[in-house]
Amino acid sequence: MAIQEFTLPDPGEGLVEAEIVTWHVTAGDTVDVNQVVLEIETAKSLVELPIPWAGTVASILVPEGETVEVGTPIVTIDVGDDTAPADDGAAGAANDASGAADGGEVAAEMQTAADVAPAETGESDDEPQQKTLVGYGPTPSSSTRRARRGRGAGGGASGGGTLAAPATRGFAKQQGVDIDTVEPSRDDGVVTRDDVKKAGGSNAPAAMSTPSVASSAPPAPSADTVAKAAASAPSVRPDKPTAAAPAPAGLSDERIPIKGVRKVTAQAMVSSAFTAPHVTEFLTVDMTRTMEFVRELQGMRELKDIKVTPLLVVAKACLIAMQREPMMNALWDDANGEIVMRSEVNLGIAAATDRGLLVPNVKDAGRFGLGDLGREIAKLVEIARHGKPSPAILNGGTFTISNIGVFGVDSGTPIIKPGESGILAIGTVRPMPWVVENERGEQEMVIRQIAQLSLSFDHRIIDGDVGSRYLSTVGQILENPAKAMLWG
């Protein structure tokens, strides 16, 4: 018997810790070389870790939900009498196969595996070595997840073994939904936020409705009962303040650990807010022609494979306006005392996910036509919400668009993502009275489709006239998309 200790590998990107999200094996399970055995969450992405040896799981050293530092032992493997190291060629082939699993450029980037050097343990050279560890996608040996204890074949749970991210579990608690009763929709058996929403909708009348709570509650005590209880209570002055009265049954405060995406987002926003002097400008725009343009695009055969929305036109307008105002895409390099005029626009699209706010970005977005830009945005947002975005997808942005209008919000003061020059928020497009000039040159009041744009930019780089011209150009294109042909 030879026991090998598997330690948390370095996920790269300067990260020093990760959270154990999901174990795909338990003690006693047999594993193969490069089989994915667990999923971890770093500050930037979800990562699946393969095991470098074949053998039997001896023990799980770190339970799900705990955050550990790089180099911490997390599982032990009994490799038996086979002391040969994992074959480098097999590991490389497995990684190559997983990298080609999705065919797309971004998906392939997600599947790329990183080599992690084995830790120096002082053991002899004939001991198994820890080989390729970190991968962003499933390997051929683990295309389906091992059934968890307590889960039936249909994906339901009976013993608390439900596969779900911590954020999803927290959301289920907020909604009053038992996570173990939620039926997963994904093939790998992981319960998503949408699954919880569906379960919450179906359970709401029984579990959440006010009448049922009221009907099951005991009757309130009478005034005489309360008075007698107060009179008989001993008059004792506590030595220290007493704790607050417990919350009613079923209601309690919840403490959510600050870690992962939430922790990094908070640090980044504080750093940005107190490092880059923000200026936010607002512009109310008549979007009527843009909405008509969107309907025309939706009817075009060439765009049938994508969901055309006003956000796509806004994104294209931002790129065209940036050609006229290139300073909007510049970088303040404090370390070298320089302003870097960047040649490419890496356009970020803010996406709300179960893990928090993620901002994948389209690399060199200016090279895409309208249709291809729409496909890239849709692909990246889908990966951010339902896949495992790699750090490469999330890093390197130069300018961001945030569609706050989907939440019914008109405007705000968005905070610039660190390393970027600006961020544009687009509010809800809603019918409102608007003054226009008719064919006779007279002003009249009509109902138009109106939205507000909010632009925040780094005042160290961008002067007020540059920011104002940029916002005005975006607004003019949205008021009359034909100007895109003139300026683009």
The Cα 402–Cα 349 span in angstroms is 6
The DSSP string of 383-433 is HHHHS---HHHHS--SEEEE-GGGGT-----PPPPTT-SEEEEE---EEEE
* Helices and strands, number each (H, E), in the chain: 13, 21
The Cα 431–Cα 429 span in angstroms is 7
* Residue 459 among the catalytic residues: yes
The Cβ-side half-sphere exposure at 104, using a 13 Å CA radius, reads 11
From 24, 278, 386, 459, active-site residue: 459
Q: Is 473 helix (H, G, I), strand (E, B) or coil?
A: helix
CA angle 379, 265, 454 (to 5 degrees): 70
The Cα 427–Cα 481 span in angstroms is 18
Greatest alpha-carbon pair distance for the chain in Å reads: 94
Question: Which tokens is 112 given?
Answer: 């790329």
> In angstroms, what is the C-alpha Rg of the chain?
28
What end-to-end distance do the CA atoms of the chain give, in Å?
69
DSSP E strands in 169-309: the ranges are: 190-191, 278-286
- Write out the catalytic residue numbers: 459
